[in-house]
Amino acid sequence: MTDCSTCVVRNRAICAALDKEELDALNLIGRRRTLTAGESIIWEGDESVLVANVIDGVLKLSTGSQDGREQIVGVVYPADFIGRPFGGNTSHSVTAITDAKVCLFSRADFDGFANDHPALEHKLLRRTLTELERTRKWMTLLGRKSAEEKLASFLLDMSERLVDPGCETVTDEPLAEFDLPFSRQHVADILGLTIETVSRQFTKMKRDGVVALPSRRAVAITNRTALEDLAA
């Protein structure tokens, strides 16, 4: 696998807790994998055999209903951790929305490494608690909010999550302008809306001076306070 020291998400992923010697050891049990949009890496209900750090791209977490419908239960970005360490079956599928790169580990190898490195276990616990809080917010987003509130909340989340991991100094400052890494149809699918509804909400936000839309994918937040108010 490529040297961990050159990884663009090195300082934001769970392995940030490791020193160089520990990173070298972790490097021996991992491998890089490139995913194409639409390719799955983990399947709902299967035994947990893989875990991974996301290096580049955006992936979705989804579950299926008995009638075959898909429910997206989360979205993961660069530096996020996916998979279920320490055994059990996976509760959702993980599929690339865009082309993506991941740092992949056998779950058994990763579990053994984590058991020998308490700092990594602690980082993993903190990340798990953060993901739990994010999941609770996602449930509110999908179940209780209006279309306008959903899109506003989603754009705020995107501005916070799409900070360039390749920057020399990475901060937690949200972006004022960013490119959506996927189409508006994907936005609609993620939020449980129709593409017509998403387009109408974008147009309304632009008309009201909340956002600017320089291109089909680009979004510029021109009034963050107003966007936060819309997100309720």
pLDDT recorded at residue 3: 64
With a pLDDT cut of 90, the percent of the chain lying above it is: 29
- Whether 93 has a pLDDT exceeding 50, the answer reads yes
Which of 133-137, 181-185, 216-220 reaches the highest mean pLDDT? 216-220
pTM for the model? 0.76
| Encoded tokens for 193 | 């809306």
Contact in structure between 24 and 30 (CB atoms under 8 Å): no
Interatomic CA distance for residues 215 and 39, integer angstroms: 27
Q: Residues 199-219: what's their mean pLDDT?
A: 93
C-alpha to C-alpha distances, 229 to 51, 64, 116, 139, 149, nearest whole angstrom: 37, 33, 46, 19, 9
Mean pLDDT over all residues of the chain? 84
C-alpha to C-alpha distances, 134 to 26, 87, 127, 140, 197, nearest whole angstrom: 27, 22, 10, 10, 24
pLDDT recorded at residue 198: 94
Contact in structure between 100 and 80 (CB atoms under 8 Å): no
Domains of the chain listed by start with CATH number: 4-135 (2.60.120.10), 145-230 (1.10.10.10)
pLDDT recorded at residue 168: 47
